[in-house]
Structure 1
Amino acid sequence: MNRYIIRQMLAPLIFITFALTGVIWLSQSLKFVEKLINGLPISTFLYLTVLLLPGILKYTLLLSLFFGTLFAFNKLYSESELVVMWAAGLSKWALAKPAMYLGFSVMLFLYIISFVLSPYGIRVLDELRVEWRESLASVVLREGVFNTLARGVTVYIREKSSTGELLGILVHDERDPTKPVTYMAEQGAFVKTESGPRFVMKKGNLQEVKKDLAKLSILYFDDYTLDISQFEKKGGVRWLEPNARYLNELLWPEDSVDTRRNLNKIKAELHQRIVLPLYAISLIFIGIAGVNTGEFTRRSRIKPILTAAVSGVLLIVLAMVLFSLAGSAPWLTPILYVTPIVAAAITAHLASGGNFFRSKPAASNSATMLSGSAD
């Protein structure tokens, strides 16, 4: 019986997870499409987008577990399989156990995602973003667009040939406002060397303006190599954001000015990772309660199903609101833990056949369900 109910739940759980994750994943991966068009290898593009999945799965798995439970138990209810199980002597609590087993499995997987996979993905993505932003060796120059290599340094390329040669080049360097320099060339190339990136230009000129002397100097050249490694930003030790930290880095953060300033956010991140998977059990019970409460009837049960669906979604929204506020309001921390525990206790009572205000005798449950089938 346990395996049968779990199989009934797994099918919608997997389908909904793929559907929700796929939609969000596609929208998130669009930020890398421009780099793909500009020459980013397909394998690198897929690797980067896969790194987004753990952060997405944290919430899509919860939603999928909830709606999968609601769908599976409603199907068992509508096909009268539940009433047969009740008539065979199985209590509502016994029927909820396989769902709990699946819920605990999802909860364990969410802990692995929260403490291992998600921070790893965020950390790698952040490192790559910094490399793209600060390293000129990874810059892809686009034609017909003013490309900013560094503050005060702009490059314009009129056209790119099929061989990768750059035509109609303009490099304007105004880092020194008193002596702006402009390089113009008919053709050239952006190359990477062991010493750093270089801009090789042919058949052009160098124009330097000395504003204090009101003088323009022009130097014509056939070949000119511009060392642009000087434009690169020198990266230093970056402060790790709370969502990119592993468990040990959340429990024992380094002592620094940034850490002391953001200590509440670090603590809130730790509490969020501990609490979020607990909602799996609450959502399981909400889904079962939406089907199991009340007498068995063949009439439409849209109202209890819709009430359960809205309740589950609102619980997840409440969790997200509490998580977002906890960083600036540490006094909310106890509420973070109380919310899923209280929700699980109330809905477990309802899912097991009880009522929040009064309970019916356990012996009358089966008879009540069978008598209601005449409706």
Structure 2
Amino acid sequence: MIVFRYLSREVLLTLSAVSAVLLVIIMSGRFIKYLAQAASGQLDPSSLFLIMGFRLPGFLQLILPLGLFLGILLAYGRLYLESEMTVLSATGMSQQRLLGMTLFPATLVALLVAWLSLSLAPQGANQFQLLLNKQDALTEFDTLEPGRFQALRDETRVTYTEQLSADRVNLAGVFISQKNISTEQKDRGISVLVAEKGRQEIRPDGNRYLILENGYRYDGQPGQADYRSIKYDEYGVLLAKPDVSDEVTDRDALTTQALLSSDDIRYRAELEWRLSLPLLVFIVTLMAVPLSRVNPRQGRFLKLLPAILLYMAYLTILIAARGALEKGKLPPSLGLWWVHLIFLVIGLGLLYWEPMRLKMASRRSVREVARG
């Protein structure tokens, strides 16, 4: 029992450290991406941390299996390097018994991954998509920042203001450049509006207008001399109505119950993917225990790179099989289970190969001594 607690603690501590490092790396890269979208006006800056919170379960369901795999390799590799495993082996600790003890922390991780993949991650993805739908309904004035040019997503209009009130109603020093895409204005190229100040108004019919005051409008084709200039005291620009959609279309945002009740092959692929992640935990544990066995003279990192490549091959093939299943290139009866079966066989081969090799070497030595 003491050895069991010791091994479990070593694995879980290393798992936590490795997973924390991987999580920071992945979330930092994704946060930079969302930060760039916020800087370009595609996202509301105030929602960045909320978005990261919704995405966290999806990150963890992929990080934890890799963290467990590396945790076993690093923790047991250190024990082999410091000859602690040699002492345990001398007391009757076999690879099979070591695997049995390792399955306890692996089961805890598998249960956590199952909760994430089957429940928490879909809920987070659902809230994430609803938040993006709200972001898509924002006008450029909802994300406009003073002193910065703001472009619409379709790049048909660029807006600039020197000053903007806290309630985002009143503007000063306004510049707007927009493409003329309507039938009657298609020969005019672009329109440029400049104004001393402006304000947003919502009319009783629900339409939103930007009212510009004391400015000019220039219509013309870039590179040509013919253009039209109009001076105005007040000019209204119709803004698009916000259109907030509650529809969730991403499969990873659907509940597991919805996937179970559907016969769509794409939904089945998503369901099998969610079930594959907890199963992945047990199979990588089976592979990690024999791969962690190192010779103290060779160093603890000798098998680390081949082991990581094996894990990446497992995950890559699983993702490719998921894509092929969604496209109908794999029969539904085969699903994703053949990938797990292949790596289960590899794990069993790794587990029993070393004892068989040592046993065969021992018999060979006995025969050589008998001949001598």
Q: What band does the TM-score fall into relative to the shorter chain? A: 0.7 to 0.9
**Is it true that 1:249 corresponds to 2:249 in the alignment?**
no
Change (3 A) 1:357 1:287: closer
Q: Distance in 1 between matches of 2:84 and 2:173?
A: 73
- Cα deviation, residue 334, structure 1: 2.2
Structure 1 residue 78 displacement after superposition: 1.4
Q: After the TM superposition, which residues 62-211 of structure 1 pair with which residues of structure 2 at under 5 Å, given as runs? A: 62-136=65-139, 139-142=142-145, 143=147, 145=149, 147-148=151-152, 154-157=157-160, 159-160=162-163, 165-170=171-176, 172=178, 174=180, 176-179=182-185, 183-190=193-200, 195=206, 197-204=208-215
Letter in 1 for 2:290: A
> What is the match of residue 224 of structure 2?
none
- Sequence identity of aligned pairs in percent? 20
Question: How many angstroms apart in 2 are the aligned matches of 1:175 and 1:232?
Answer: 18
Q: In the TM superposition, what whole-angstrom CA distance separates every residue of 1:111-149 from its partner, at most 9, and x where no partner exists?
A: 111122222222222222222223328732354536337
In the alignment, the residues of structure 1 paired with residue 335 and residue 76 of structure 2 have an alpha-carbon distance, to the nearest angstrom, of: 30
CA contact (8 A) 1:243 1:269 kept: yes
Distance in 2 of aligned mates of 1:306 and 1:239: 40
1:326 corresponding residue in structure 2: 325
Q: CA deviation at 1:346?
A: 4.3
Counterpart CA distance in 2 for 1:185 and 1:331 is: 63
The count of residues paired between Structure 1 and Structure 2 equals 342
Q: Distance in 1 between matches of 2:216 and 2:30?
A: 44
Secondary structure, counterpart of 1:116 in structure 2 = helix
2:160 is paired with a residue of what secondary structure?
Answer: strand
Q: Secondary structure at the match of 1:355?
A: helix
Deviations 1:227-255 (A, max 9, x none): 52xx23645664512111111221224xx
Superposition pairs of residues 157-306 of structure 1, within 5 angstroms: 157=160, 159-160=162-163, 165-170=171-176, 172=178, 174=180, 176-179=182-185, 183-190=193-200, 195=206, 197-204=208-215, 218=230, 220-221=232-233, 223-224=234-235, 226-228=237-239, 231-232=240-241, 234=243, 238=247, 240-253=249-262, 263-292=264-293, 298-300=296-298, 303-306=302-305
Q: CA deviation at 1:87?
A: 2.0
In the TM superposition, what is the alpha-carbon distance from 1:158 to its structure 2 partner? 5.0
Question: What is the CA RMSD across the aligned residues, in angstroms?
Answer: 3.8
User: For residue 213 of structure 2, what is the amino acid of its counterpart?
Assistant: K
User: Which AA in structure 2 matches 1:243?
Assistant: D
Q: What is the distance in 2 between the residues matched to 1:207 and 1:314?
A: 59
- The equivalent residue for 1:372 is none
Structure 2 Cα separation of the partners of residues 332 and 359 of structure 1: 39
Q: Is the 2:57–2:120 Cα contact (8 Å) retained in structure 1?
A: yes
Structure 1, unaligned runs of 5 or more: 210-214, 254-259, 369-375
Change (3 A) 1:22 1:151: closer
Residue 320 of structure 1 deviates from its aligned partner by: 2.3
For 1:166, the aligned partner's letter is A
Describe the superposition over 1:246-267 as per-residue Cα deviations: whole angstroms up to 9, x where unpaired. 11221224xxxxxx9xx33222
| 1:47–1:158 CA distance, 2 compared to 1 (3 A) | closer
- Residue ranges of structure 2 left out of the alignment (5+ in a row): 221-226, 366-372
Residues 348/73 of structure 1: CA separation in 2 closer, same or farther (3 Å cut): farther
Letter in 2 for 1:251: L
1:61 has 2:67 as partner: no
Alpha-carbon separation, structure 2, partners of 1:243 and 1:62 = 19
Partner of 1:340: 340
Note if contact 1:167-1:186 (Cα within 8 Å) is conserved in structure 2: yes
Distance verdict in 2 for CA 1:207–1:345, change over 3 Å: closer
Output the CA distance in 2 between the equivalents of 1:150 and 1:306: 45
Once residues 236 and 335 of structure 1 are traced to their aligned partners in structure 2, the CA distance between those partners, rounded to angstroms, is 33
> Shift of residue 206 of structure 1?
6.4
Corresponding residue SS for 2:184: coil
- Matched to 1:247, the amino acid is T
Residue 373 of structure 1 corresponds to which residue in structure 2? none
The answer (yes or no) to whether the contact 2:129–2:248 under 8 Å persists in 1 is: no
CA separation of 1:127/1:192 partners in 2, compared to 1, >3 Å: closer, same or farther?
farther
Which residue, 28, 31, 51 being the options, matches 1:29? 31
1:13 corresponds to which residue? 15
Question: Equivalents in 2 of 1:305, 1:182: separation in Å?
Answer: 61
Alpha-carbon distance between aligned partners in 2 of 1:327 and 1:84, rounded to the nearest angstrom = 50
The residue identity in structure 2 corresponding to 1:199 is L
Pairwise CA distance, 1:48: 1.2
Query: What SS class does the counterpart of residue 240 from structure 1 fall into?
Result: coil
Cα displacement string for residues 46-102 of structure 1 (whole angstroms, at most 9, x for unaligned residues) = 111122222222222121111110111111111121122222233322222231111
Residue type of the alignment partner of 2:282: I
Q: TM-score, normalised on structure 2? A: 0.76
